[in-house]
Amino acid sequence: MKMERLMLAGLLRRFAPRNLFISPQGNDRHCERSDATCLSRRKPIQNVTTPKLTAALCLLTLLSISSCKIYTFSGSTLPSHIKTVTIPVFANKTLEPGIDDDVTTELSKEVLKSQLRPANSDADATISGAVTRYVNRPHTFGAGGAEVNVEQYIVQISAEVEFFDNRKQESIYKGTVSGEGIYLFETEDEALGRDKAVKNLVERIMQNSVQMW
């Protein structure tokens, strides 16, 4: 803040106007600050600010704010020692066939878009998990005469996930993550809802593990 004070003093000396006074007869003139006679005979005009002074003060304000800003991380920087990751096939604890392969494949694709590199062995970290829930159920309804018709279905998938630091032998993230996908009952099918749910699940896994830093 010392630098900002020095800059303010310099700007004020450069751009501040001389005191402007008005005589009793209405004639305007500039008086030097040291001219006591002039000061005694003149009536001061309040709030005199030049455009240059205004601009200088605005600039100083911006500089002061920038020098005091608080920096936050956007969630894209992992610990420096984690550069490679392995992703074993997720376990399937549901009755939905192949959902474990779908989740593992989609997760592997998304990890490749991050700063991590895949590794089959001796990886710096491991993302493992198990699909624990798969549900396909009615979501919204519409009235059709005397009957109530289903308009949309929703697929919901949950998985237990762990992002493990193999170098420090500690868990970076561990928890249950859920995703969902909605599809139209009349024109779409469960496969579409399932695909949406898998993508949504993987997106949230990434947010809670790789992208949380």
Q: Which pLDDT belongs to residue 9? A: 56
**Contacts of range 9-13, beta carbons closer than 8 Å, 24 or more positions apart:** 11/53, 11/56, 11/57, 11/59, 11/60, 12/53, 12/56
pLDDT surpasses 70 at 175: yes
Domains by residue range for the chain, with CATH: 2-67 (no CATH), 84-212 (3.40.50.10610)
7: pLDDT confidence band, cut at 50, 70 and 90?
low
Distance between CA atoms of 59 and 54, rounded to whole angstroms? 9
Model confidence, pTM = 0.63
| Cα separation values, 75 from 43, 205, 208, 209, Å | 60, 14, 10, 10
pLDDT surpasses 90 at 100: yes
pLDDT surpasses 60 at 13: no
> Which tens digits make up the pLDDT trace of 18-70?
444 444 444 444 444 444 444 444 444 445 455 555 555 544 444 443 333 22
Helix (H/G/I), strand (E/B), else coil: 207: helix
Q: Which pLDDT belongs to residue 190? A: 97
**DSSP state, 58?**
H
